[in-house]
Structure 1
Amino acid sequence: MMHILIAPDSFKESLSAQEVALALKEGFQAKLPGATFDLAPIGDGGEGTLEALAHNLDLTDAEVVLPHAFSENGRARYASKGQQAVFEMAEVCGLEKVPLNKRNPLTLSTQGIGEMMTILYDKGIRDLIIGVGGSSTNDGGIGMAKALGYRFFDQSGHELEAIGENLGKVATFSSQDVKSLSGLKVTVVTDVTNPLCGPKGATVTFGRQKGLAEADFDRVDRAMSHFYSQVNPSALHLSGAGAGGGMAAGLVTFASGQIVSGIDFVLDTIQFDDRVKKADLVIVGEGRLDAQSLSGKAPVGVARRTPEQVPVIAICGSLSEDLPSFPTAGISAAFPIISKVQPLEETLADAAVNLRRTAENIANLLCLKE
């Protein structure tokens, strides 16, 4: 009897990790009725992290209204228990919450992140976990810092609006009005290992998908470097600091946060190493598998901790042209689920159907082997 562990990430703007896992199970079960399943939906710092940690830490879901949250009515979710809480940057200022015609990472604010932090602190939270993937911004956390009370000034002493467009103009900053968050432990859960600046930094790697023109990459990257040369030069050499458009660096600099690998943090929490010992096959997946995925995102993170003798198959929305040939990074094979050319909205809406069909087809191949 085959035991299949299904550990997908969410499919952006389409399905939660739990919904992906359920669709895959239905597909495999239709052709392998004797198989057993272990559903382990995960997150790696981006979307799905809140759901995965809330389920496995037995946290209670809640929401607050934030002046600078991009969601409908300014509402943002979090989950908590006792003095511990978790929320996602994507829930406050995620890319999927911003209409296509309004996506500009240099003008969108991250103040909502700092607002969420102060609200939770006032509620008695002292152990705060923040997932920083999936952002729509590229401001190095300057907006979050403003919400905590920091102020930033240009060479003439004029206060600057705390957005990414003004990073290169910062000459001085003040912490005089910073609210004390004494005793607050901030764990920064990142889905990538990218540095803050340079060819693999936040701007060059993630700017395009957030609406930044390639012609602006060099200018914006230099502005980010200028800003951190002023406020915390050590962040320029910190692995993972580029996550969330530099939010990881901002939380380290302005909130004494500690960066941890998102996928490993979540896998430890859900006791993955014990669960995978029982598996004959592991299924991973995300909306788009690409070269960025190989830098520490969910599918590769799961594959890295799966015993060598257990095959890992990736089932994804699409596969990027920049991927190497498989097997690679512990993944035996990868399958895209898109079956036909159609508008993006229809493709996203059909994700569950496509997942089930792809799982059925892979299960058919497994039946041939038996």
Structure 2
Amino acid sequence: MRIVLAPDSFKGSIDASAAAEALAAGWRSVRPGDETVLRPMADGGEGTLAAVLRAHPAAVRHDVPGCTGPDGRPVTGQYALLPDGTAYLELAVASGLPLLGGHLAPLTATTRGTGESVAAALDRGARRLVLALGGSASTDGGTGLLAALGLRLLDDRGRRLPDGGGWLAGLVAVDRSALRPPPPGGVLLLTDVTAPLLGPAGAAAVYGPQKGAGTQDVARLEAGLAALARVLGGDPERPGAGAAGGTGFGLAAAWGADSASGAAAVADLLGLDGELARADLVVTGEGRFDATSLLGKAVGEVLARAARAGTRAAVVAGESADPTVQTLASLAGSGRAARAEPARWLASAGAELARRAGR
């Protein structure tokens, strides 16, 4: 048999590459003669750079030391540069929620470090940018990122606003004169979010609380994003405008960025359709499988493509209410035990699937 292993990361537990390797090891322990093809997935967040580097051996990873983290502390940014001049970046590397270490900063967190990473890629000659938007710590509308590229955000006295979405309600003007132009090949944003910028389904209302925003904070952030929309122009109702705390909107309005499904883009990058056409089975998975898994997530993308290819598919998850899904929690005895040793239980899941395949 030819088995394609295409899991997403099991968030907070194990990344997609290590998950695929563990599943493959378990499978081979039962059926050593089968061919296992590893295609770890991502949906526009964690794991996107790893997928790029795996799919393009000629890509070069560059570190960007001294970037501004979401709370102002220095962090190391990163991007992957392909020979054709395309640079891939993950916003979460320099501006992600885990960088706050649990000390959330809903009003002051900034995307500036991602802008500094973008600037470094442009300085190295990047002619096109692909930015994965998952995992943002901020709700600043991408203004920190744009400020790092030269955009000046001004209050009613012509003073620059500090970083953070909590200050944006005082925005009355922007000065674009020093804003770097986008690269000639354009900018593509990868996301699994179709939220608009504003309103009850928008960036502040839906995702602000996940970043530490209370009720009053959400109202303040909403007012700031509304001010940004008035001053910057653009379409706040555009699907994906609310991605990464409104970064989807900011980059579309100021730089003409386009948006695409992160999971679909990664699947195309990996040549997943071709792999599925030659496979007997594809195994995908994630930390928790539920109804949202089929709505723009990596697992749903793999399952949809497998169905189109007529290839059998199986799902492994940390936890799930779906009885057809093999869960690590059931193998380990509890979700907590599974999260403590994810590689071990993913290998067990791979072995169990292989035993079923031989029946």
Q: Mark yes or no: TM-score above 0.5.
A: yes
Quick one: structure 1 residues 245 and 290, their matched pair in 2 at CA, closer, same or farther if it must change by over 3 Å? farther
Task: Quote the residue 1:56 is aligned against.
Answer: 55
Give the C-alpha shift of residue 121 in structure 1.
1.0
1:10 paired with 2:9, answer yes
2:296 paired with 1:296: yes
Alpha-carbon displacement from aligned partner over 1:245-282 (angstroms, at most 9, x marks no partner): 22122221222221111111111122111110122222
Give the partner amino acid of 2:97. Answer: L
- Looking at structure 1, the residues matched to 100 and 342 of structure 2 have their Cα atoms a distance apart, in angstroms, of 21
Amino acid at match of 2:231: Q
Q: Displacement, 1:6?
A: 0.9
Aligned to 1:119: 120
The 3-state SS of whatever aligns with 2:260 is strand
Q: Aligned equivalents of 2:335 and 2:183: distance in 1?
A: 52
Paired residues in the alignment total 353
Alpha-carbon deviation of 1:215? 5.9
Cα distance in 2, alignment partners of residues 122 and 293 from structure 1: 38
User: What is the 5 A alignment of 1:101-116?
Assistant: 102-116=103-117
Distance 2:326 2:243 in 1: 27
For structure 2, the 5+ residue unaligned runs are: none
Matched residue of 1:125: which SS?
coil
Can you list the C-alpha shifts for 1:116-142, whole angstroms capped at 9, x where unaligned?
111111111111211111111121101
Q: Which amino acid aligns with 1:300?
A: G
Kindly provide the amino acid, as one letter, of the partner of residue 91 in structure 1: V
- Which shows bigger deviation, 289-298 or 116-125? 289-298
Secondary structure at 2:67's aligned position in 1? coil
Q: What is the aligned partner in structure 1 of residue 94 from structure 2? A: 92
- Give CA deviations for 1:314-344 in whole Å, capped at 9, x if unaligned: 212334x7xxx67xxxxxx43332334576x
* Greater Cα shift, 194-203 or 293-302: 194-203
What amino acid is the match of 1:136?
Answer: A
Q: Secondary structure at the match of 1:85?
A: strand
In the alignment, which residue of structure 1 is the partner of 2:176?
Answer: 175
Aligned residue runs from structure 1 range 208-287, under 5 A: 208-213=209-214, 216-234=217-235, 236-287=236-287
Question: Structure 1 length normalisation: TM-score?
Answer: 0.86
1:16 deviates by 2.2
Aligned residue type for 2:267 = L
The amino acid of 2:142's aligned partner reads G
In 1, the alpha carbon distance for the partners of 2:41 and 2:134 equals: 13
Contact persistence 1:135–1:245 (CA under 8 A) = yes
Deviates more, 1:77-86 or 1:178-187: 178-187
CA distance in 2 between counterparts of 1:288 and 1:197 reads 28
The worse-fitting range, judged by mean Cα deviation, of 250-259 and 28-37 is 28-37
Partners of 1:277 and 1:307 within 8 A in 2: no
- Residues 192 and 295, structure 1, Cα contact 8 Å, conserved in 2: no
Moved more, 200-209 or 243-252: 200-209
Alignment match, 1:198 = 199
Write the distance in 1 (CA, Å) between the matches of 2:75 and 2:176.
27
Q: Which runs of 5+ in 1 are unaligned?
A: 327-332
Q: Percent identity?
A: 32
Task: Output the CA distance in 1 between the equivalents of 2:215 and 2:5.
Answer: 37
Match of 1:142 in 2: 143
Aligned-partner residue type, residue 188 of structure 2: T
| Deviation, structure 1 residue 181 | 4.3
- Give the aligned CA root-mean-square deviation in angstroms: 2.5
- Deviation, 1:40, is 0.6
Distance 2:215 2:122 in 1: 39
Normalised by the length of structure 2, the TM-score is 0.89
Query: 1:66·1:116 contact (CA, 8 Å) conserved in 2?
Result: no
- CA drift of 1:179 comes to 3.0
Separation in 1, partners of 2:334, 2:107: 33
| Structure 2 SS opposite 1:287 | strand
Confirm whether residue 360 of structure 1 aligns to residue 333 of structure 2: no
- Taking the aligned partners of 1:269 and 1:182, their CA distance within structure 2 comes to 21
8 Å CA contact 2:86, 2:127 repeated in 1: yes
The residue type paired with residue 334 of structure 1 is V
Q: Does 1:336 align with 2:335?
A: no
TM superposition shift of 1:184: 5.2
Which residue does the alignment assign to 2:36? 37
* 8 Å Cα contact 2:110/2:137 also seen in 1: no
Provide the C-alpha distance between the structure 2 equivalents of 1:155 and 1:35, rounded to a whole number of angstroms.
67
Q: Which residue matches 1:330?
A: none
What is the CA–CA distance in structure 2 between the aligned matches of 1:131 and 1:42, rounded to whole Å? 13
